[in-house]
Structure 1
Amino acid sequence: MKAIVLREVGGPDKVSYEEVDVPSPKANEVLVRLKYAALNRRDLFITYGMYPGMNLPSILGADGAGEVVEVGEGVSNINIGSSVIINPALEWGENRAYSGPDHRIIGMPSDGTYAEYIIVPAENIAPKPEFLSWEEAAALPLAGVTAFRSLMYRGNLNKGETVLIPGIGSGVALFALQIAVAHGANVYVTSSSDEKLVKAQELGAKGGVNYRNENWAKELKQEMGGADLVIDGVGGDTFKDLIYLCNPAGRIVSFGATRGPVKELVLPHVFFKQIDIKGTTMGSPEDFQDMVDFFEEHKISPYVDKTYSLSEAADALKYMEEGKNFGKITLQIG
């Protein structure tokens, strides 16, 4: 089979399009012939070696959708020919509140979805929502469950609350926008692109500001009022502005830090406003199923920005690195 393999770090140019053996499922595993895969920023970080527990070589990719073509011994609830999506969170553990010590994600160190076939545990397979295309279904899992858990489980989002999502355009941020709007929240966003702000409003955002403006936080405060919940994957120096924009007793849920650490955080700004700051990453099996059910109920379709062929994975990763995408980037495989 064809696959995208990373054998050494150094950026997207280090991935190679190779012929590798088709794996065989063991007990309680299934073999899936993939139709589409989707990119996550995690994949880009891995190519640079910026990820804990690096173990190469590995086939990249956490997200995918396809058809079951073989099942291992002990698998009785999944039929050959089933259309499925893959939950990329392996061995989450028994406690929904946090992942256990054996938790890991498909696509390094275990082989991932940038391939024609993949082996996954049967428990990590879910039926593909019928209303989604193969491409949309592949785009959903990792970013979808991260956004859903951030909002609904860690963020305790209530209908009618005001939600702020900085850096709109990434997969998680867009899913958070779609989920929050469907749940009846009032959503505001930030971006460095006026075009992305317009697109976000087309998807239901009430408004937003360009954070390249010198007084963007004050502008947003005037437009939005205050935020009951902030879903942040940016971090960096702007995190202090998020505290300023929070309502008293507001919540900030952090799922990433693309701009690095938060420096010189003034803690009194946090405790005098009674603000909760929570961390989250990925999601439990319960989060994943609840996320799929929510998308089914509200008929939410992932927003796909651009599609490449599997052999063009390096170009797709470079495009992601530019940060110009609005929505998910996918790879067509089968």
Structure 2
Amino acid sequence: MRAIVHEGKDGLEGLKLKEMQNSQPNDNEVRVKVHTAGMNRRDLAVVTKRHKAEDPALIPGSDASGTVESVGKSVTKFQEGDEVIVNPGLGWQKNSDAPPEGFEIVGLPDHGTFAEYYTCTEDHLERKPEHLTFEEAGVLPLAALTAYRALFTRGDLEAGQTVMLPGIGSGVLTFCLKFAKAIGARVIVTSRSESKQKEALKLGADVAISTEENWQEALASEQVDLLIETIGNATFNKSLDIVRKGGTIVTFGSTTDDEVTINIRQFFYGQYNLLGSTMGSAEEFREMLGFISEHKIKPQLDKVFSMEEYKEAFEYIQKSKNFGKIGFHVR
């Protein structure tokens, strides 16, 4: 089978399109003919930071939608021809405060979804929501699950509250925007890009400002209940300054420096809540799919590349050109 593979060289130079073995499903496994494989910034991190040239060949990718091509003899949940979507989390079935020991994400350390076929156990697949195309479903899983847990499980966002999303444009934050508006929350976004600010307003954001301006001056009359922090050191103290006393910051990523310094006295006098979040459980994945089906939510689909355009796709997400999700058209 054709697959996008990383081997032989560090970074993006190690990427290539080549033939790989197409494994037969074991008794409890399902082999999916991949239609669309979604791309995340994690895939960039895998090939630039974690996967080294001396390691064995690796197929990256955590997201996919497709059609069941064959099933093992013990599989009861699916049959050939079913339209499915991949849950990118491995080993986290039940809701819990944190991922259990052994939790992994599809695409490292084992092969991922950037291939013509993907094989996994039946409990890591769900039926594709009927209102989504294969392209939309294929770019959904990791980002939508991350957004759902950050907003609702961890952030406990409710209708009428205000959520702020610094650095709008990523797949996760565009889902956060759509999810928050679906329940009747007020949404503030920031971006260095005026075009991304305008796109966010078109999607329903109530306020859009520059990431680089003084947030307190720009939002003098706003009360931010929940802030989703994914930038890290460059904005963390601005985030802390803008959240109302007793408000909450949920963080699950850092596109700038990981380490931040805060005034701990300001923090405890303000009674702030700082919560970490990571993707979500299989239960939350099913809850999220139910939520998007109920509200007929679709991903903000930026661009779908061919498999031959793998280099362009990785460079595109590396430069943060996307507003929303990107992916590969496999079939």
Bin for the TM-score computed over the shorter chain: over 0.9
Aligned to 1:18: 18
Q: Shift in Å at residue 9 of structure 1?
A: 5.1
Equivalent position SS for 2:26:
coil
Residue in structure 2 matching 1:257, options 254, 257, 261: 254
Cα distance, 1:199–1:316 mapped onto 2, change above 3 Å: same
TM-score (norm 1): 0.95
Equivalent position SS for 2:149:
helix
Contact 2:87–2:285 (CA<8 Å) still a contact in 1? yes
Aligned to 1:221: 219
1: CA distance between counterparts of 2:224 and 2:51? Answer: 32
Pick which of 21-30 and 142-151 moved more: 21-30
2: CA distance between counterparts of 1:49 and 1:81? Answer: 37
Q: Shift in Å at residue 220 of structure 1?
A: 3.4
**AA aligned opposite 1:24:** Q
Equivalent position SS for 2:220:
helix
2: CA distance between counterparts of 1:82 and 1:26? Answer: 18
1: CA distance between counterparts of 2:133 and 2:93? Answer: 31
2: CA distance between counterparts of 1:39 and 1:327? Answer: 11
Matches within 5 A, 1:1-334: 1-8=1-8, 10-50=10-50, 56-92=56-92, 94=94, 96-213=96-213, 215=214, 217-222=215-220, 225-334=222-331
2: CA distance between counterparts of 1:162 and 1:172? Answer: 18
Contact 1:248–1:274 (CA<8 Å) still a contact in 2? yes
Contact 1:55–1:109 (CA<8 Å) still a contact in 2? no
**AA aligned opposite 2:58:** S
Q: Shift in Å at residue 95 of structure 1?
A: 5.1
**AA aligned opposite 2:292:** F
1: CA distance between counterparts of 2:186 and 2:94? Answer: 34
2: CA distance between counterparts of 1:255 and 1:222? Answer: 27
Contact 1:208–1:220 (CA<8 Å) still a contact in 2? no
TM-score (norm 2): 0.96
**AA aligned opposite 1:295:** I
Equivalent position SS for 1:63:
coil
Cα distance, 1:56–1:266 mapped onto 2, change above 3 Å: farther
1: CA distance between counterparts of 2:182 and 2:51? Answer: 33
**AA aligned opposite 1:264:** T
Q: Deviations over 1:47-87 (max 9, x none)?
A: 112479x9642101000000001111310121110000000
Return 5+ residue gaps in structure 1 as ranges. Answer: none
Contact 2:232–2:260 (CA<8 Å) still a contact in 1? no
**AA aligned opposite 2:262:** L
**AA aligned opposite 1:237:** A
Equivalent position SS for 2:179:
helix
1: CA distance between counterparts of 2:8 and 2:201? Answer: 41
Contact 2:95–2:283 (CA<8 Å) still a contact in 1? no
Pick which of 201-210 and 54-63 moved more: 54-63
Q: How many residues align?
A: 330
Cα distance, 1:219–1:198 mapped onto 2, change above 3 Å: farther
Q: Deviations over 1:119-150 (max 9, x none)?
A: 01100111111111111001110000000000
**AA aligned opposite 1:279:** G
Contact 1:94–1:100 (CA<8 Å) still a contact in 2? no
2: CA distance between counterparts of 1:96 and 1:80? Answer: 33
Return 5+ residue gaps in structure 2 as ranges. Answer: none
2: CA distance between counterparts of 1:261 and 1:140? Answer: 26
2: CA distance between counterparts of 1:289 and 1:258? Answer: 28
Cα distance, 1:279–1:210 mapped onto 2, change above 3 Å: same
2: CA distance between counterparts of 1:316 and 1:38? Answer: 11
**AA aligned opposite 1:195:** S
Cα distance, 1:55–1:151 mapped onto 2, change above 3 Å: farther
Q: Shift in Å at residue 269 of structure 1?
A: 1.9
**AA aligned opposite 1:238:** T
